Amino acid sequence: MAPAAIEIGPASGPRSELKPEGQATTNGNTNRTPPSLQHEEYQYLNLIREILDNGEHRPDRTGTGTKSIPFPPQHRYSLSRPDGTLTLPLLTTKRVFLRAVIAELLWFVSGDTNAKTLQDQDVRIWDGNASREYLDSVGLTHREEGDLGPVYGFQWRHFGAEYRDCHADYSGQGVDQLAEVIYKLKNNPFDRRIILSAWNPADLKKMALPPCHMFAQFYVSFPSSSPTRKDSSKRGTLHALLYQRSNDMGLGVPFNIASSRGSPQTAAYESTERLSHAGGCS
């Protein structure tokens, strides 16, 4: 099967080099592009600059330490153009392993928690948290290597079910949050409880790594300017707000920005927008 064409945007534009706002250019002038005209990728670049310039050093669980700032401004990334053409917000100033983004997202959606599923596709982004040494270090000595516990996909598809291992059949167990979100978006888009949560306090100690992107809320708007379909219904615009308790700005965040386009919730609508709230950024 020939690969489907993907339009890379809006985070790809005519300029091949992007500089944080206020950074001096080669001719000595300072880039003062009005915020409303700035490329969306500047949100990421400016936040990187803020962390480098003003971040505080904080110890972390790895022993490496980070430079970090708390609760940065909300970021907004368009997932479609005004005419409804779907776009992919893939950063152009940071190489993003797109094949791994897609593989991990499908892994989440399937409810899988076995890192070997990704390893078999030569995607090794979870290897560090799936090794025998690491699992033993966090008290999961009974868990086989590769079994990450009730992480993202399990919470999305079986929230509240009792986790046994990565091989068990959980069909019909727990709350299928993903199915509920999609059902509400299609049948009750005005619902104010269209929420997806990966943060389950009862399961945190069973996880190899607690979720970073832990909470999402969806809102469908029908502004007066919305196009009308042939059946006289208005075309809705889906807004997705993602909260991340912890943000790896160099590696994880570019992944998360791209992943938001492919999720079943956002793919269900012609016009979409992703909003991001963050806890600590480092």
Token output for 225: 């300017």
The strand pair at 195-197 and 237-247 is best described as unpaired
Q: Which residues contact 223 (CB under 8 A, 6 or more apart)?
A: 237
Which of 219, 268, 264 has its CA nearest to residue 241? 219
Distance, in Å, from the CA atom of 167 to the CA atom of 143, rounded to the nearest integer, reads: 11
- With beta carbons less than 8 A apart as the criterion, state whether 218 and 194 touch: yes
- With beta carbons less than 8 A apart as the criterion, state whether 183 and 264 touch: no
The strand pair at 75-78 and 66-70 is best described as unpaired
For residue 182, report the phi and psi dihedrals to the nearest 5 degrees. -65, -40
Positions of E strands within the chain: 56-58, 66-70, 75-78, 195-197, 213-221, 237-247, 271-281
For the question of residue 166 being annotated catalytic, the response is no
Work out the number of other CB atoms within 10 angstroms of the CB of residue 281: 22
Among the options 79, 90, 101, 212, which is catalytic? 212
Distance, in Å, from the CA atom of 262 to the CA atom of 241, rounded to the nearest integer, reads: 15
Whether residue 10 is preceded by a cis peptide bond, meaning omega within 30 degrees of 0, is: yes
Q: What is the DSSP letter of 74?
A: P
Catalytic annotation, residues? 212
